[in-house]
A and B are shown apart, each in its own frame.
Chain A
Amino acid sequence: MNPMPLPDRPEIYFTVAALLLAIGIFGLLRRRTLIGMLISGELIFSAASLNLMAFNRFRAPDPAVGQIFVLFIMGLAAAEIAIALSIIIAVYRNYRSVKTRELSELNG
């Protein structure tokens, strides 16, 4: 039996957060549509939030600070999603496509 129960070990949370970040960056590099890249960006946001929450639980003197920080991250992620999706819809109206390979022309 482990001396410390599994949910009380900080390394596990750090490892999962690093894994989420790596998966998000892999998706960001591999995806070829704008919405896929947006979803990968959300994964990276989640990785940052989990990392902050783990530090907040185990290493911070005031456990309320990290939670407030993560709440702000969630609010900003929601705002970012709204803006990015409206841009994607506007792009789709202009190009009839959201594939990153075809969006290669700049025109005012």
Chain B
Amino acid sequence: MTAFPASQMIVGAIFLLCLATTVVGALIAALTARIIRSVCGLAICCIGLAGLYYFLHSPFLALMEILIYVGAVCVTIVFAVMLAEPDEPVRDEQRGTSLLWGGVALVVSAAIFWGVWHLGAQQDWTAPVARVSDGSVSAIGKSLLTTYSMAFELISLALLVAIIGALAVARTGRTKP
């Protein structure tokens, strides 16, 4: 028992807040008509997700989630929104067809949710016998530079190719020939 018994309740409340932030952010990201609100929803969802990572004993990944997703990915999407005015068009099709497709999408996503939830949460996964490492930042660093050094170098190569490819693709058509 801890010295301060309400601390567990406070931790639980913060955890529930992170859960709610993640789910509400994802709903905003998927459902709003304006793309800029959708980007903000994605940022909110990623902040909640960073909190969940913190509760999963990996504060380094929580930091990286905020740094990469909120700081880089969302800002990049906002740049594209400024360049390409991508608001959702008003519905020009029949209302019945639109509702039908919405229903189909809802059924498909509900079926996927049920299947994945059933697989993950209802199964009796075996707990590990012993922990090899403690999952700290130094353990991650050692693994990155020993066991996973090949993948580490390959991902830097992939990022380089992505940067060059993005520049090359976005450059074509910029000036009239």
Contact = CB atoms under 8 A, between A and B. Distances in A.
Interface of A: 5-7, 10-27, 29-36, 38-40, 42-43, 46, 49-51, 53-65, 67-68, 70-72, 74-83, 85-90, 92-94, 98-99, 101
Contacts of A92: 83-84
B30 A24 contact: yes
A53 B166 contact: no
B97 interface: no
Contacts of B57: 57, 63
A81 B76 contact: yes
Interface residues of B, number: 92
A39 B121 contact: no
Given A27-B30, A86-B169, A86-B170, A43 B42 contact: yes
Contacts of B135: 56, 62-64, 67
Given A22-B113, A29-B109, A32-B89, A88 B84 contact: yes
Nearest to A102: B89
A68 B45 CA distance: 21
A29 to B, nearest CB: 4
B74 to A, nearest CB: 9
A23 B162 contact: no
Interface string B138-163: 01101110001001000100110111
Nearest to A57: B56
* Main secondary structure on B side of the interface with A: helix
Contacts of B4: none
Given A14-B121, A67-B58, A67-B61, A40 B127 contact: no
A68 B148 contact: yes
5 contacts: A6-B12, A7-B12, A49-B49, A51-B120, A63-B131
B162 to A, nearest CB: 4
A26 B105 contact: yes
Given A7-B55, A24-B30, A88-B80, 9 more contacts: A7-B15, A19-B113, A29-B109, A35-B84, A53-B53, A60-B128, A64-B135, A67-B58, A71-B140
B117 to A, nearest CB: 4
Contact of A35 (B8, B35, B53, B110): B35
Interface string B13-47: 00110010011001101110001001101100110
